[in-house]
Each structure stands twice: as structure tokens, then as C-alpha cells.
Chain A
Amino acid sequence: MENIARQQISINLEVMDMLNQQIAKEQHASSVYLAMASWCDQKGLTRSASFFYNQSVEEREHMMKIFKFVNDSGGSAYSPEVANISHEYASLKEIFQLALQQEISVTQSIYKIVAKCRAVNDFGTENFLQWFVEEQMEEEQSIRDILDMIELMEDAPLKLIDERIPKE
């Protein structure tokens, strides 16, 4: 029997499912960052707000990158629903702690897909995901640096801490 399916799609189907889950994860992360940006903006923490607006755009770009890849490979990408976005935070420190947790969760998810790609010999997708592996290392590090700075300046006024948030 001729392999029609393989002629139409160049990625593994289980990997495609995981990429669709990743699309939802990236979109969720983008929305969470938007909520964080809103909280910071309302408190007058302009540098932090700007940081999270940029993060939100970046996460959406990641989502679009995967979305396009799935469709370009002959698969079907599905537009994700986003729900349960919290807009309540206790402090700026908590926001960055949650942001780090979120990045770690996204990194772990990417690693799982890479591991699956290796298990099913989907080298094309593994190669595509290498960019995300590097990107996640950078994302985690930048938030970890901010948390270190907040730790060092814990007694300083919030505005002073905000002024030290890096411009991206």
C-alpha cells in the first residue's frame, strides 16, 4: 500500500499533538505576562510593565513560530483557548517568582518534546526545537538575574527596584 499519509506530513503525529499543546502553553504564557504587565502598569512600575509587555509579545512570537511550523510541515495547528488568567499578585517579587516558574515549566515542556522527537526519530522537529532550547535558557537566566537584584535591594523603595529592571 502506497504511503499517502507520509507524503502529506513530515512530522510525527504524536509530536504534532505535543506541539499543539506547546502552542497553547506559549499563548497562555503570553496572556499571563500581559496580566502581569497590567498589574505593574497600574502601580506605576513602568520599567517592569514594559518588561512584561515585551515578554508577552515574545511568547506570542514563540507560539506563532510553532504554529507556522506545524502547518508548514503538513500538520494541523489549532488556535488555542486561553482561560484562568489571574490578575492578582501580592508583590513585584511574587510576580517575578511566578514568571520564573512559568519559564521553567515551558522549558520542561520543550525538553519533553525534544525527548519524544529523539524517541520517534523526528529529527526535523528536533532541529527546529533547538532554537527554543537556547531561547528558554536565556529567558530563565534574565528573570533569575532580576530576582537576584530584588533580593539584594529588598529594603529599597519599590520605585528604585523598578528603575533597575532591564530594558529589553
Chain B
Amino acid sequence: MELLYTSKYYASYQSTKDRCFYIDFGHKMVKVSFCQLLSLRYKAKQLSTSQHLEYMVNHSDVTLLTFCDKEHMIVLDTLQVLDFTELIQATFTMLELNNVLSTAI
């Protein structure tokens, strides 16, 4: 497994052998397909909108994140939402960088 990115709380990996990705949430490692990773990217964008963050800060400091067709569910506080968003953004940046490098070579 190749490490893609490590944020403060989480980490992402690519497994060439399994042809999938892994997200380490600290208490569990979750296997995701590329499609599911895209879905997480979409959710991260939704969670990190100023509207949603403002709601979290003013009303409740936790939010539920379900993914992989509701197979997994985690609870995130505001800092974890920001950290998770950073992880997903950086993971896709690393994938894009890998794409640029492999095209150049």
C-alpha cells in the first residue's frame, strides 16, 4: 500500500494490488473504490461549506458522515470536518500529481 496523504487525524492510501484505496480513520481502516472516493470528495465539499460549518459552530459541534452506501458511519466535530476535507483534497491532489508524472514519463 502506498501512502497518499496524512492529515492530523486521518490518512489515505492506494493499493495497486487490490486496485482500490484505503482511508485510515484512526479507529478503523476503510476500503473504498475510486467511485466511493469520489463520493467522499462530494461529501467533504458539502460538509465544508461555510453554511454547514456555521451551523455546526452555532448549533451542534458534531455531524454524521455516512459513506460506502451507508456501510460506514462516523461522527466528526468541526476540527475533524476541516481535517477530513484537507485529507480528501490532498488525496486528489496527489492522484492528479501522479497522473501528471506518469503522463510526463
- Chain A residues with CB under 8 Å of chain B are 1-6, 8-9, 13, 74-76, 78
Contacts and interface: CB of A to CB of B under 8 A. Distances in A.
A1 B34 contact: no
Interface of B: 2, 14, 16, 19-21, 33-35, 38-39, 42, 92, 95-96, 98-99, 102
Contact of A3 (B42, B92, B98): B98
Nearest to B94: A1
A5 B16 contact: no
Contacts of A3: 98-99, 102
Given A1-B2, A3-B99, A78-B42, A8 B16 contact: no
Contacts of B42: 76, 78
Contacts, number: 35
Given A13-B92, A76-B42, A78-B42, A2 B16 contact: yes
Contacts of A9: 34, 38
Q: Which of B14, B20, B33 has the most CB of A within 10 A?
A: B14
B61 to A, nearest CB: 26
A4 B16 contact: yes
| A interface SS class | loop
Contacts of B21: 4
Given A1-B2, A8-B33, A9-B34, 19 more contacts: A1-B14, A1-B16, A3-B98, A3-B99, A4-B14, A4-B20, A4-B21, A5-B34, A5-B95, A5-B99, A6-B102, A8-B35, A9-B38, A74-B34, A74-B35, A75-B38, A76-B39, A76-B42, A78-B42
Contacts of B35: 8, 74, 76
A3 B16 CA distance: 8
Contact of A13 (B2, B39, B96): B96
Nearest to A120: B96
Contacts of A75: 38
25 contacts: A1-B14, A1-B98, A2-B16, A3-B99, A4-B14, A4-B16, A4-B19, A4-B20, A4-B34, A5-B34, A5-B98, A5-B99, A6-B99, A6-B102, A8-B33, A8-B34, A9-B34, A9-B38, A13-B92, A13-B96, A74-B35, A75-B38, A76-B35, A76-B38, A78-B42
